[in-house]
Structure 1
Amino acid sequence: MVAPVTTPTGRGTPAAPGRGPAAKPWLAWLVVVPFLAYVGIFLVYPTVLVLAGAFQDANGAFTTQNLVALGEGVHLQAFLRSVELSALTAALGAVLGALLSWAVAVGKPRGLLRRVVVAGSGVLAQFGGVPLAFAFLATVGFQGFVTQFLDHQFGIDLFARGAWLFELPGLTLVYTFFQIPLMLIVFLPALDGLRPQWREAVDGLGGTTWTYWRHVGGPILLPAFLGALLLLFANAFSAYATAAALVSQGSPIVPLQIRGALTGEVLLGNENLGKALGLGMVVVVAVAMGLYALLQRRFARWQ
């Protein structure tokens, strides 16, 4: 039944069918088609090339040797180091970012401190690649001002035990730098979703702060926290530019091994091995993001 439309004279007339936003689906397609084309060209098409190349040898014949190589030697070690680096930085970023989010959430909702921290986190979460690597080199590199200051003023040599900044410990420090603000952006809405009435109900029933977090706040925030942890893991696992700018020799993690396979001049014909490495990364990230989507769906029930 078509709802009547009231005219200025007070008489109701049926609304003309076929008019309104839903009557012109081509307007929606006008917006969707460019987006689908962009996704198809820059996401779907490269993924298909990676998937096809992972099962081809240098002559284009079908083979599974590339995938077998992922579980052997330096490639397996690179995957293990990548998982270790991603898990460690995700854990550090999640814990420190959650504490920072809580400190912001208990403040004034529209206070200056909250606006500054949230705006700064939005910038720092995307601050990576060569600029971030240069910032750390200028700060705690061999000739960084912090390194020189500690050496001249206190006799502390940051590199007494080796060039840690250009190895996994250095990557852990640098990755954690952008993991913490990303955690704040993702986790702060979950803290804002906690209703004051829940805390008041616990207090009214004689509960303590521990009781509230143990039986109410903790269970509600746990899916959001674990989901953010998985997001940080996928973010670190797929990061490339920062590690490429810091590590000039060797390929300790998978993204750098892919670079070596595609651009190396010593061992030629390893392009498909690089695609197999990329396929392995796609699988790991897809699993992490799938679990993240499931946890986000569970958290949405409480909102």
Structure 2
Amino acid sequence: MTDILHGPAPQPARRSLSLAWLGVVPFLAFALLFLILPTLQIITGAFRNPAGEFTLDNIANLFQPSILSAYWISIRISFASAFLGCLIGFLMAVAITIGGLPSWIRSPLLTFSGVASNFAGVPLAFAFLATFGRLGLVTLILRDWFGINIYGMGFNILSFSGLTLTYLFFQIPLMILIVTPALDGLKREWGEAAAILGATRFQYWRMVALPILWPTLLGTFALLFANAFGAVATAYALTGSSLSIVPILLFAQIRGDVLQDPHLGYALAFGMIVITGIANFVYIWLRSRAERWIK
């Protein structure tokens, strides 16, 4: 009787694969071919000898004094450029968000930051050589107009300080792009409430704003550290082999030199993956905490 009144029971709807997934197929293919598979090749190669047998010798060779020195120099350059990039970028972001600068400055600065944060490699190295090299524009202006010889004072573009300065060109814009939304998320009511309670501007920043922004700042520092640690094209084009950092040492082992050892190169890359992976994990974790604060 029920079947007659209501007709046949409805069939459960079949779940079909959404065509929207086709939009991410290029991304998934790109990630598989140029990220996942090469990373797996590096990891497996780091634990194999030329005969294809499992070994820990490649990892043990990472503790050679020359390789440890290269890692230490890379860590120092990455730390210095990340710290200065965070400090300068944060101050610039504060200036364009809540610092009272004219609003028309913000859009051009963010646009330039989007371009500069991805400007690296040979063009960036050439730009800094043409600017701060021994015959660079700024070097000659300081020497001829102001009597300041920066190379006589110990500066060298092909050195630790020179490479750190070059890295700042893309570190500062990246910091601006990341921290600006966090500064926009600071609610005006928090500042007004602090002022009503008698807090000075310094006390507001020390007790309210900076504690809220702290996870974002630390996370961005970790991201900038990883960004500098993995940079190879700019460092190689600028300094060549005059500065022994891990990316250049890795490039020499993979590309081929007198002491070519591809599997040692895999081990060097594996060490870089571990360090940058830890830095990126810290960034993601702290960024999630910062987003909960802003919400």
TM-score by length of 2: 0.90
Letter in 2 for 1:259: F
- Counterparts of 1:205 and 1:169 in 2: how far apart (Å)? 45
Trace 1:19-58 onto structure 2 (pairs within 5 A).
24-58=16-50
Report which stretch shifted further, 244-253 or 185-194.
Answer: 244-253
- The equivalent residue for 2:76 is 84
Superposition pairs for residues 277-296 of structure 1, below 5 Å?
277-296=268-287
CA deviations on 1:79-128 (whole Å, 9 max, x unpaired) are 11111110111000000100000001026799321101111111111111
Decide whether the 8 Å contact of 1:150 with 1:156 is kept in 2: yes
Post-superposition CA distance 1:163-194 (Å, at most 9, x none) = 72111111011011211111000001110000
Number of the residue aligned with 1:72? 64
Q: TM-score, normalised by structure 1?
A: 0.88
Deviation beyond 6 Å, 4+ runs, structure 1: none
CA-based RMSD of the aligned residues comes to 2.1
Is this contact kept in 2: 1:183–1:228, CA < 8 A? yes
SS of structure 1 residue aligned to 2:258? coil
Structure 1 residue 157 corresponds to structure 2 residue 152: no
Number of residues of Structure 1 aligned to a counterpart in Structure 2: 284
Aligned partner (choices 137, 140, 143) of residue 148 of structure 1? 140
Tell me the equivalent position of 2:175: 183
Stretches of structure 1 lacking an aligned partner (at least 5 in a row):
1-15
Instruction: Please state if 1:117 is matched with 2:109.
Output: yes
CA contact (8 A) 1:55 1:64 kept: yes
Name the structure 1 match of 2:7: none
Q: For the residues of structure 1 that align with 2:175 and 2:128, how far apart are their CA atoms?
A: 21
Alignment deviations for residues 26-57 of structure 1 (CA, whole Å, 9 cap, x no partner): 31332233322221111111011101110112
Question: What does residue range 1-303 of structure 1 map to in structure 2 within 5 Å?
Answer: 24-106=16-98, 111-160=103-152, 164-268=156-260, 270-302=261-293, 303=295
| Partner residue in 2 for 1:6 | none
Structure 2 unaligned regions, length at least 5 = 1-10
Which stretch shifts more, 117-126 or 30-39? 30-39
Q: Deviations over 1:257-287 (max 9, x none)?
A: 011101233123x001001000000000110
Residue 206 of structure 1: how far off its partner (Å): 2.2
Go from structure 1 to structure 2 and tell me whether the alpha carbon gap of 1:197 and 1:163 turns closer, same or farther (over 3 Å shift): closer
Which residue of structure 2 aligns with residue 13 of structure 1?
Answer: none
Question: Percent of aligned positions with the same letter in both sequences?
Answer: 44
Deviation of the 1:24 alpha carbon: 4.5
The equivalent of 1:5 in structure 2 is: none
